[in-house]
Amino acid sequence: MGRGRSSALAAAVAVVCAVTVLGAPGTAFASAGPAPTPPASASPGASPADSPTAPPSGSPSTPASPPADKDLEAVRAKLDKLYHDAAVATDAYNAAEEKARKQSAEIVDLARKIVKGQQRLDELKDRAGAAARAQYRTGGLPPAAQLVLSDDPQQFLDGAGRVLQGERATRDLLAELSRTQKDLKKYAQDAADRWQRLEANRKAKASAKKKIQQRIKTAEELQSTLEKRQQERLERLEQEAALKAQTAWLDTGVLKEISGKASEAGREAVKYATAQIGKPYEWGAEGPKTYDCSGLTSQAWAAGGHPIPRTSQEQWKQLPHVDVKDMRPGDLIIYFDDASHVAMYVGDGTIVHAPRPGRTVTVAGAGSMPILGVVRPDAG
């Protein structure tokens, strides 16, 4: 292997190895799953709202006092806000992860093209060099000049065709050399561009990850200040709020209009999703042991034979929309104005979903959260 080929191969291997390292578990850029919870001390840059129970700077750490019972509704609202913010950040993390996967694959593909192109360029240069050496051995005269100087008419006639073929071959060789060099330059530029995007996504993931961890940590710290009876009361308040929202939704009469039957793919998706009931929520997870909301729905529809976007926001953007009254089991209900949560409709006014950290995949009322709209992965 020549020096040019060896260096090109080494460069491409370096690119592939770098991408592999960036995607390896344990790096800031790597896993789709969450990292261990950071130490209990406040994260750099966190505001008092992020760590409401943290002691003042310089004072000894003391357990925070539980809130008054009359403040539990405010606590519930704050927890809802914290977990909603964590869900938004999780969607951003998952989107960056999805882009990073594609960009890593593109970089590896470009590295292969660079290696192949460099090998072809070396081969073409070898051929051009061989032609130059042959011309040198014949006294430096091009074949056409040698032909004109020949005294043998038959030799002239026999060689004319070979000269024309040689000229065409030379032009073709030079043209391919030029094309190959341009291709290599373009591949190198594309690889550099994708590398920059990959780095930008790494930073986006790191930022989203930090926000997720901060919000969950703050929520857990807030919940840890509650006495057992207050935690039980808070859970009842959550259930009452969900029931109130579901009752109001049902009182609209919408369920009387919903009569769609699941498609074959929809039945498979529902079967998969309901089989996950009881498994823990984990941000960034796509199963098989833990899920976040869009991890559950995307894997369920993959099982149904229709791969869909990874995040709830992209599911809302890319999948066909249907009216709520026309939805059928298997359709996905997107919640909140920012499309930060998704669940699967399973019929009779109910959904299966992965709610939030600290919860498990469960069945709930379809109207228990503010509905943004409905999408159908297998429309048409």
Residue 174, C-beta contacts closer than 8 angstroms, at least 6 positions apart: 128
Quote the CA–CA distance of 50 and 57 in Å, as a whole number: 15
Quote the CA–CA distance of 324 and 65 in Å, as a whole number: 45
17 given a catalytic annotation: no
DSSP H or E segment with residue 333? strand 332-335
Choice among 17, 293, 306, 321 that is catalytic: 293
Query: Could you give the angle at which helices 72-137 and 293-303 cross, rounded to 10 degrees?
Result: 60
Task: Report whether 351 contacts 345 (CB < 8 A).
Answer: yes
State residue 378 phi and psi, 5-degree precision: -110, 35
Q: Would you say how long the chain is, in residues?
A: 380
The number of beta carbons lying within 10 Å of the beta carbon of residue 164 is: 12
State residue 23 phi and psi, 5-degree precision: -95, 5
Alpha-helix runs per DSSP H in 225-286: 228-250, 254-257, 264-275
Task: Report whether 285 contacts 320 (CB < 8 A).
Answer: no
Task: Report whether 197 contacts 96 (CB < 8 A).
Answer: no
Choice among 84, 306, 321, 353 that is catalytic: 353
Quote the CA–CA distance of 343 and 361 in Å, as a whole number: 10
Exposure b/e, 289-311, CB count within 10 A at least 16 = b: ebbbbbbbbbbbbbbbebebbbb
Task: Report whether 363 contacts 275 (CB < 8 A).
Answer: no
User: Bridge-partner residues for 350, per DSSP?
Assistant: 347, 365
Q: Is 126 exposed, middle or buried (0-12, 13-18, 19+ CB in 10 A)?
A: exposed
User: Bridge-partner residues for 292, per DSSP?
Assistant: none
| Residue positions annotated with a catalytic role | 293, 341, 353
